[in-house]
A and B are shown apart, each in its own frame.
Chain A
Amino acid sequence: MEIPYTVKPRPDTGLYNGKLGIWLFLASEVMLFGALFSSYVLLRVGAESGTWSMGLMNITVGAGNTMVLIASSMFVVLAWAELKQGNLAGYKKWKWATIACAVLFLVVKWSYEWPQKFKHYDVWLNDAAVVHDSFEKGYRKTALRPTDEAPKGVSVKEHVEGFYTTRYFKEQSDGSDGSKAQFKKAWDSGTLALSGHINGYEEAVINVQVGEWNADAGVTQDEAKEAITAAGGEADQALDGGTQVLKELDYDAAKRAEYALGQAGFKVTLSVARYEKVEAHPWFWRTPRVNEDIGGKPRVQSIILALDHSDDGEGHYEEIEIETRHISRLSAYEPKHSTFFGIYYTITGLHAAHVLGGIIVMLYNMLPIGLAVWHKDRERFTNRIETFGLFWHFVDLVWIFLFPILYIL
């Protein structure tokens, strides 16, 4: 059995099967990305002022990646042209270049662009007075420092307005009254977020208090003894019904001990012993984590935030301390941060998945198993590269539209 038109085009349609199939597949891809674009437009048009957190994108990286992808798109079509001329070496040269570009694209995205964002935080506070106070503390020095744009003595509010209008109120980034009015509203009501990197925090060190042992819990004495010894407690004292405090534990260990001892039939109470300063750059922190209630106290007492645009010109950023009781919401620039970041990660993630799939197919076509087709039937292999090229150009095409809507507008 031989399936017709796998290599030579059918005369009346002018297409071989593979090419027809890939164009149909691309039609469905257009609808897939089209639906995501539609969602983007609808969500953006419906977004409340000050929630479309756009101007945070690194345009340089985005533009660089665009060009990398354009180059790969050009290389893949050149590889096909080499095959048309019967030049396998030329094909290999351009194909490796394509793969290199595709890999570079993903490396930039996954090891630089995204992780950068995962460490960058927005903090919303629940009290306008504290917000103003924090801004005042953080930007006082910068606001007084003369720069090209801001003459000496500019007020903190004006200084903040300068970059917040392009970041959150980009709808009127021409600086017309609209965006200023929106900024003023957000400033007065205290809904502006403080943005920056968390350089450190004070986290609770926890006392685990072990209470009475419940003999009816279905656990034998020996097992209970084992559990309490493993947690570092006095076994006999615990089983006699006396309470004791285990040694101070960090959060994770305390939670583990609470679970294990709870399973063993002990009544366990957690309380905060003291707070310990930690210097670290946390990833993916969220509001419930910092506010988690441990015996009436938050797990994290305060965070040290290095504010954006507060450098003294030598790379030192102004740090302010924010108590978590003032925090109403805290989020890294992850999908959860806002609708914009949600759709940004969804579309670019789906696009990156296409790039990854493309890389796999390209590698296959470089391996002996893929190249064997060339040695058997040159035209079939050329067609295969052509259909792959059509897919790859489409991936490029999607990015051409993604770049302006996600990075620029």
Chain B
Amino acid sequence: MSDSHDSPDFLQYLIRLFYMVGGVLVAGTLITVLIDVMFHMPLPLAAIIGLAIALVKAGFVVAIFMHYKWDKKLLMITGTMILTFLFFAGMMGLIMWTEGDAPKLGRAEVSVFWAAAAALLGLALPASFTVLTIKLMSQPAPVEAPAPKAKRAVKKKKS
């Protein structure tokens, strides 16, 4: 957390926030259990509800407890985490897709769509990601520490 958030008032505000988030998390757990006890529902629906509540809880933990809310401007953390979740989703999604796509006997007409989708995912995504990364990383590392705001404005100068 950056130094501008170190004032005593802000800390008091934070501590109140921590208690509140703790309450939210406990409530979330209770709600999950209550829903399970009170309603019987098909698995897909239960999975969606259960994981949605877990996601909300996780969001609070990351945003407040891990104070990501105040760190999200830090490119390295955000970038790494986005990458990680992208790859995690890719791993899970592609494994499930592979297992679900059972081979069919006889000649199958593969829709152009999937090849196009793969090309899009494979080219456009990393390309845009790369452009973005290089753009963001092209900020010069200041020889003297400047004010954090100023650094975006400085254009890279070639010697």
Interface residues of A (CB under 8 A from B): 9, 11-15, 20, 23-24, 27, 30-31, 34-35, 37-38, 41-42, 45-46, 59, 63, 66-67, 70-71, 73-74, 77-78, 81, 84-85, 170-176, 386, 389-390, 393-394, 396-397, 400-401, 403-405, 408-409
Contacts and interface: CB of A to CB of B under 8 A. Distances in A.
Interface stretch (B25-33, B108-116, B117-125, B126-134): B25-33
25 contacts: A20-B77, A23-B81, A34-B92, A35-B91, A37-B92, A38-B91, A45-B96, A45-B99, A46-B99, A59-B33, A63-B32, A70-B29, A71-B22, A73-B65, A74-B22, A77-B65, A78-B18, A81-B15, A81-B18, A84-B6, A85-B8, A173-B40, A404-B32, A404-B53, A408-B32
A396 B64 CA distance: 13
Nearest to A401: B54
Interface in B51-100: 51, 53-54, 57-58, 61-62, 65-66, 71, 73-77, 80-81, 83-85, 87-88, 91-92, 95-96, 99
A403 B151 CA distance: 44
A173 B38 CA distance: 12
A11 B139 CA distance: 12
Q: Report, nearest first, the 5 A-B pairs whose CB atoms are least far apart.
A: A404-B50, A74-B22, A11-B145, A34-B88, A27-B84
Contact of B92 (A11, A13, A38, A73): A38
A287 B19 CA distance: 51
A206 to B, nearest CB: 49
A78 B15 contact: yes
A401 B21 CA distance: 17
Contacts of A70: 22, 25-26, 29
B57 A174 contact: no
Contacts of B159: none
Nearest to A20: B76
B103 interface: no
B29 to A, nearest CB: 5
B42 A172 contact: yes
Nearest to B21: A74
B146 A11 contact: yes
B22 A15 contact: no
Nearest to B77: A23
B153 interface: no
Contacts of A172: 42-43
A20 B77 CA distance: 7
A173 B69 CA distance: 39
Contact of A408 (B50, B65, B81, B87): B50
A12 B148 CA distance: 7
Contact-residue size bin, chain B (C-beta under 8 Å from the other chain): 35 or more
B14 A30 contact: no
Most central of B29, B57, B145 by chain A CB within 10 Å: B29
Interface in B1-23: 1-2, 6, 8, 11, 14-15, 18-19, 21-22
B132 to A, nearest CB: 17
Given A390-B66, A397-B61, A403 B54 contact: yes
Contacts of B99: 42, 45-46
A408 B40 CA distance: 11
Nearest to B83: A27
B41 interface: yes
Given A74-B65, A171-B43, A63 B87 contact: no
B65 A389 contact: yes
Contacts of A23: 76-77, 80-81
Given A397-B61, A408-B33, A408-B36, A30 B43 contact: no
Contacts of B106: none
Given A11-B142, A20-B76, A31-B87, A59 B36 contact: yes
A10 to B, nearest CB: 8
Most central of B19, B73, B84 by chain A CB within 10 Å: B84
Contact of A15 (B8, B57, B77): B77
B34 to A, nearest CB: 10
B63 to A, nearest CB: 11
Contact of A397 (B30, B62, B95): B62
Contacts of A9: 2
Contacts of B25: 70, 73-74, 400
B42 A63 contact: no
B61 A175 contact: no
Contacts of B76: 13, 15, 20, 23
A84 B58 CA distance: 24
Contacts of A81: 11, 14-15, 18
Nearest to A85: B11
B136 to A, nearest CB: 11
Contacts of B88: 30-31, 34
A397 B58 CA distance: 6
B61 A403 contact: no
Contacts of B74: 13-15
